[in-house]
Amino acid sequence: MNPGGLGSPPASVSLGHEIYALAERLFPICRSITGDGVRQTLDVLSGHIDLERHEVPTGTQVFDWTIPKEWNIRSASITGPDGQTVVDFADSNLHIVNYSLPFKGILPLEELRPHIHTLPEQPKVIPYRTSYYTPTWGFCAAHDRVANMPDGLYRVEIDAEFKDGSLAYGEYLHRGQTEREFLLSAHICHPSLANDNCSGLALLAALARSLKARETRYSYRFLFAPGTIGALAWLSRNEDRTCLIDHGLVLSCVGDAGSPAYKRSRRGDALVDRAMAHVLGRLAGAKMLDFSPYGYDERQYCSPGFDLPVGMFQRSVHGTFPEYHTSADNLDFIRPEHLEDSFRILTDVIDIIEEDWTPLNLLPKGEPQLGKRGLYAALGGQKSSGATSMSLLWVLNLADGQHSLLSMAERSNLPFKELAAAARLLSEHGLLAAAS
C-alpha cells in the first residue's frame, strides 16, 4: 500500500496547463490509422515518456482483420472556375476525407458535389470523415463555404499515397511490484480534434510521467494505438499476456466542460468499475453508464474472447455534443482545468486500486478501547492522519476478513481515502492485520 499521490508539476505551472500544452503540440498533426502522422505523434509523446515503438507490416492478419496499406497525404485542394481555391488541406487537415484515394482531374460541379461532405445543420464547421475500409476520395468543408459554388469546371487534386508499409503504435510500461497489470489505452488515429483525442493522449502521457516517481503494486501499461485496428494488433501480439490484466481504462474526450462519465466494462462489476463508481459518486452531475458494444477500443478489450475488465472514461459522451467530429473540437473546446480534473479523477481511481486490501480485526469482541491507545488524539491536530472517528468504527466493525476497504466505502458511504487512512492507523496500533 502506498498512500502517496502521483506527483505534481512545478508550482509555477499548473498540471492542467502542462497537459494542455502537450495537447496543443499534438493538435496540428494529420493522423490516421497508419502513416507518418502517427509516427510524428509518437515522436512528440516520446519526449515525455520512454515509449517502445512497434510497426506491424501491411498485410498482417490480426484476428478477422488485416493491417491495411499505409496512407500518407501531402496536399489536397479544390480550385474554382475563377481560379480561387475553394477548399485547401493546408488550411485544415479535416478538409480531406481521412484515407482518401489520390485523385487529379477537372470536374463539373454536379460530379464534384457528391465528393464534398458538409453539415448543413452546422454550416460553419468542417466535419470529420474517414474512408478506411471503403476506398473513395473526397473532401470535407463548412457548408457556408461551398453552398453557393457556381456552376463550372473545378480542378481537383489530392496528392496522397498508399503503399505497403506498416501500422505504428507505442506503449510504455511502468513496472510495479508484481506482473499484474493495469492497462490504460487511448486512440492515436484522429487528426486535429482536440478533445477526441489529443486530450486523451496528453492526459495519459502526464499520468505515465507521474507514475515514474511512485512505487506501485501493479504494473501500468500505457498504450497509444490507432482505433480498432491498433488495439486488435496489440491484442493479437500480446494474447498470451492478456491474462495479466486485472484492470483497464480507455480514455477519450477528457478535456471539455462536460460532467465526467464512465462506461462500465462488459463484466459490469470489475474492481475498476466499482472504484470509478465510488469516485464519480461523490461528484455532482457525474454519470455511470452500462456497457454497450459501441464506442472506442473498450469494444475490443471487452470482446467475448478476451472479456477484460476495461471500462471507458470520458467527460462529454462521444457523439452527444455538437463539436464531436467537427472542426469545432478545437483547442478552445478543451481547458486546462478540465484536463486537471480528469487527471485527479484517474489518480483517485488508481489510489483505490493500489490501496485496497482486506483487513482483519484482531480484537473483534466488542469495540477496542481507542482512547487508551491515543487513537482519538491522532485524529486531530496538525499531523492529522486523515481518518475520522466514524471511519475507525466502520473499519473495525467490517474488518471480519470478508470486506475490502472498497466494499467498506460502498457500505458506509464514506470516502475511500478516509477508510484507508483509518486502516493504516489501526494497523499501526496493532488492531488490524491482513486477512489471509
Numbered residues of the known binding site for Zn(2+): 190, 196, 325
**Helices 405-412 and 416-428, interaxial angle, to 10°?**
130
How many Å apart are CA 256 and CA 258, to the nearest integer?
Answer: 6
Q: Is 121 exposed, middle or buried (0-12, 13-18, 19+ CB in 10 A)?
A: exposed
Q: CA torsion angle for 162, 163, 164, 168 (degrees, to 10)?
A: -70
Angle of CA points 134, 135, 139, to nearest 5°: 105
Q: CA torsion angle for 190, 191, 195, 198 (degrees, to 10)?
A: 90
Peptide bond into 397 cis (omega under 30): no
Q: What is the DSSP string of 55-105?
A: EEETT-EETTEE---EEEEEEEEEE-TTS-EEEETTT-GGGB-BTPPPEEE
Q: Is 203 exposed, middle or buried (0-12, 13-18, 19+ CB in 10 A)?
A: buried
Q: Is 365 exposed, middle or buried (0-12, 13-18, 19+ CB in 10 A)?
A: exposed
How many Å apart are CA 253 and CA 312, to the nearest integer?
Answer: 10
Query: Cell triple for residue 131?
Result: 474512408
Query: Binding site, residues?
Result: 190, 196, 325
How many Å apart are CA 346 and CA 203, to the nearest integer?
Answer: 10
**Is residue 308 within 8 Å of 265, Cβ to Cβ?**
yes
- Between the alpha carbon of residue 90 and those of residues 93, 98, 155, 162, 188, the distances in Å are 7, 14, 16, 20, 21
**Is residue 143 within 8 Å of 118, Cβ to Cβ?**
yes
The H or E element containing residue 420 is helix 416-428
**Helices 405-412 and 389-398, interaxial angle, to 10°?**
120
The candidate with the shortest Cα–Cα distance to 55, out of 167, 140, 198, is: 167
